[in-house]
Structures are given as C-alpha cells and as structure tokens.
Structure 1
Amino acid sequence: MKTGWKQVVKDLQIKVRDVLQITMVDDKTFELTVFDSDLCEKHVPANRNPKFIKWFVDVSKPTMILPIKWVNSIYVVGQLNDEVFINTYTGYTANLKLKDNGKDVWFSDGWSKFVKDVDIRRFDILVFTFSYQNQFEMVVYDSDYIQRHVVTSESSNNEESLNKRRRY
C-alpha cells in the first residue's frame, strides 16, 4: 500500500477526521471505503447503497440513532418501513423497529436484545449497509479495529439453523 498512496488520498479527497475501512478481498486486492467526519460513506459506488459507522459507547441504551446525513441520503423522513432486519455476516438476523420523529431516526424495539445477542461491547465499531427496503447488513469491529466474528447464543446453540440461513 506504500506505492501510490498519495495519489489515492488525492483522488478520494481523504481528509483529516475521515475514517477508512480497508477490507481484504484476496491476497492482492483490498477494498477501501472512506467515511466522512459525519461517519457516512463519501464515495458510494452506483451498484450499492451507502454505509454508515456507529462507534458504540453506551451498551445500556435501548435505542440507536442513525446518522441524519445518511438518513437524508436514503429516506424521505416520515416514510420509513417501521420494521427492519439487521443481518450479520454469520447469518444472525434481528428484527427491530425503526422510528422517527421528523428530526431523528433510530432503531428501537429489539435493539437491546440485538446488542446482547451479538455481544456488542463498549467501543465496538459497527458498520451498517442498507441493502434494500428494510434490510441492513452489519459488521462489528472491536476496539483494536479488527473485524470480530459475531457468535450469538442462537448461532452457537443452533448451528443447523445458521447453516440453512447461510445458504440463502
């Protein structure tokens, strides 16, 4: 990554306070996602919806507010699906309520259970991608910025069910 990095920074207009997500695709290829200071993806490919990041500080909160800049790029406030699903890459799916008050939008009913089931910890970093209609994909990074394998009580107790979900 040493060669050409200055050009990447220039081309993608990476600035101080931007956050970079670098994902290894294979032994020679990396995917770079740049998030602005609002923690919303800066350069979204035309073939997918934008991502956003949440640094998780308070695991006791029963809700999680979504970045308003991200919400405004996806939704018309007041016209939301009130039921959403968050899928982890291990196959765990949570059903939550999405609420708005005309100003903020947040995950509510089911969020506390999701935090417990997925074992989200203080200072974890959550990266969300809105897939379609009412589906979110989520990846968890620990406080050392390493992607964490999400193991839930459901997935560890019911591996057969997990494998069925992975196939679809």
Structure 2
Amino acid sequence: MRAEEEILCMDSGSPSKWTLSVDGSSNMNGSGLGLVLTTPEGDVIQRAIRCGFKCTNNEAEYEALIAGLSLAKEIRARRLEVKSDSQLIVNQLQGTYQARDSKMTTYLNLVKELQAQFKEFFIAQVPRAENSHADALANLGSALQCSSQSSIPLLFLQWPAN
C-alpha cells in the first residue's frame, strides 16, 4: 500500500490540523512547484512538480498553492494550515493586498473557491528559511527537464564509501 493510500484510510475527520507548505519557482530552465503536506500524525506527502508552461514566479507560487489545496482536498483534510514564503500570495488571500491584473485575480478567486471547501483554513507567510523543504522541491521541479510523470526516489547515504 502506498503512503497516499494509507493516509486515505485514516480518519481525516478528526479535529487535528494538517499542514501544507508550498513554494513556486520560475527561471530560465522552466517552472516548478513544491508541496509538503503533513498529516496530524506527522506523515509527509511531498511533490516536486514541473510545469509544462511558462509562468512568472508569482504565478508559480499560486500554481503550487492550488496543487497543494487540491491534494489536501483529495485526501479529505478538513482543517488546514498553509505556509508560504510568498508575501504577495499570503497578503492577497488575507485581503491586505489587491490583485491588480486579471491573471492574479483569476488565481486569487480559484484559491478562495478551494479554501471555502475546508472546515478551517489558515495561511501564514513564513521566512524562506522555514520553507526550505518546499523550496527545494520547487527548485527540483524547475530544474529537471521532463515531459511525463516520473518518480525519483530520495535515498539516504549514512556512511561514506571508504
């Protein structure tokens, strides 16, 4: 049974909060998204996503948030705390900043629709250093050239070869 399948079997109707850390990255190599969804019990689902389209850094940040909210919804999380290092995204969602162009307005409205499907929703801006896991996944997504879904295992080498 895969970790995602095991988590789907859990009672996600409990009052405990899930935590979602998101980040987006856009550079000359492409755009990537990083998601880290942590269950109330501490299990982690992580995703590095490569975008097959060009987008700005702010658009990549929104795409990461939308992908993360969609994953949390699919796994039936009800209470969600979101962490992002994007000042723009967090402040637009909190109503402190206005979306100034049609693309940002569309993204903001889509996130608000997804947000409304959670029993509790909280978003906070965190320093980039506290978002390093999602940042690393977003950078991986933007750096790797791939056009289909793939799985890359992350191995841990405890001792040197010599």
What is the TM-score when the length of structure 1 is the normalising length?
A: 0.28
- Specify which structure has the higher proportion of strand: 1
What is the TM-score when the length of structure 2 is the normalising length?
A: 0.28
